[in-house]
Amino acid sequence: MGEILKTIQLNKYFREIEEFHVIKNINMSINSGEFVCITGKSGCGKSTLLYLLSTMDNDYEGEVFINNTKVTGLTQNELAAFRNENIGFIFQFHFLLPEFTALQNVMMPALKLGKYSKEEIEERALAKLAQVQMKDYAHKLSGKLSGGQQQRVAVARALINEPKVIMADEPTGNLDSVNTGIVFDIFKDLAAKGNTIIAVTHDTDFAEKSDRIIEMKDGEII
């Protein structure tokens, strides 16, 4: 397994009222196909770190490399294009558009990427919904789905562009134990197929079943 993500001396400051050093000298390496959970108490900086790794926040000191590309220093447009092709992101809240069907929600990132025809994208989206056991609900409005079903559709949406890395911020935070187990099994299966999973979680049971735990405290890896 080769290295898929690396940070060098990553530092992040909040400078709203007074300077606060939130991420401190993070040097980390994650391999392709690894399922990693980032854990720690609230306020330790784990979600902030994930947003830096995902390129959604590029206000930092240090360097970030993803899939053999140095993403530090890229423009916002370059980062957006890189993110859409290389990173799938899953939030605690699914952020589906309720007036669109599950299928339409999953298709959106691929339509934006523009690599395939609409027909091909629909076929790929149906395959991703099948992967998360949601194909039977493809044409149902996402606003009519249960919370667990909506999160599984969000996972399918994150997978549509075949990203190398899937990042998740508290992906099971709003789910019951049954749906948490389903999401975990999906992640484990994805990692076995070569995807890299990086998940921030408070769920110790979830984290302990992953390949590796990165524990944080006061902005540092401990």
- pLDDT tens-digit readout, 10-23: 999 988 788 889 89
pLDDT at 18: 84
In the structure, what pLDDT confidence band is assigned to residue 128 with cuts at 50, 70 and 90? very high
Sequential DSSP letters for 175-212: --HHHHHHHHHHHHHHHHTT-EEEEE-S-HHHHHTSSE
Within-domain flag for 28:
no
Supply the range of the domain harboring residue 108.
33-61+73-215
What is the per-residue pLDDT for 176? 84
Q: How confident is the model at residue 1 (pLDDT cuts 50, 70, 90)?
A: low
The 10s digit of each residue's pLDDT in 160-179 is 988 889 999 888 887 888 88
Cα separation values, 17 from 43, 60, 169, Å: 17, 18, 26
Give the per-residue pLDDT at 131: 86
- Written as six digits, the tokens of 168 are 């998740």
Number of independent structural domains in the chain: 1
Share of the chain above pLDDT 70, in %: 100
- Look at residue 18 and tell me if it is in a domain: no
- Which residues fall within 8 angstroms of residue 45, CB to CB, at 6 or more apart? 12, 22, 23, 216, 218, 219
Rounded Cα distance between 124 and 119, Å, is 9
153 located within any domain: yes
Kindly report the average pLDDT of the chain as a whole number: 90
Q: Is the residue at 3 inside a domain?
A: no
| Parallel/antiparallel/unpaired status of strands 165-169 and 196-200 | parallel
Q: What are phi and psi of 150, to 5 degrees?
A: -60, -40
pTM of the predicted structure, to 2 decimals: 0.88
Please indicate, yes or no, if residue 24 is contained in any of the structural domains.
no
- The string of DSSP letters for 84-147 reads HHHEEEE-SS----TTSBHHHHHHHHHHHHT-S-HHHHHHHHHHHHHHTT-GGGTTSBGGGS-H
What pLDDT is attached to residue 211?
Answer: 92
Residues 163 and 81: beta-carbon distance below 8 Å: no
For 61-84, b where at least 16 C-beta lie within 10 A, e where not — what string?
ebebbbbeeebbebeeeebeebbb
Residue 117 lies in a domain: yes
pLDDT of residue 200: 93
Which CATH number do you get for residue 147?
3.40.50.300
The answer to whether residue 4 sits within a structural domain is: no
3-class secondary structure, 25: strand
Asked if residue 23 is part of any domain, the answer here is no
Contact call for residues 144 and 108 (beta carbons, < 8 A)? no
pLDDT of 86-117, one tens digit each?
888 888 777 899 999 999 999 998 998 888 89
List, in sequence order, every residue forming a beta bridge with 1; answer none if it has no partner.
Answer: none
In the numeric block, which tokens belong to residue 214?
């990165």
Three-point CA angle 209, 214, 216, nearest 5°: 130
Under the banding of pLDDT at 50, 70 and 90, the label for residue 66 is very high
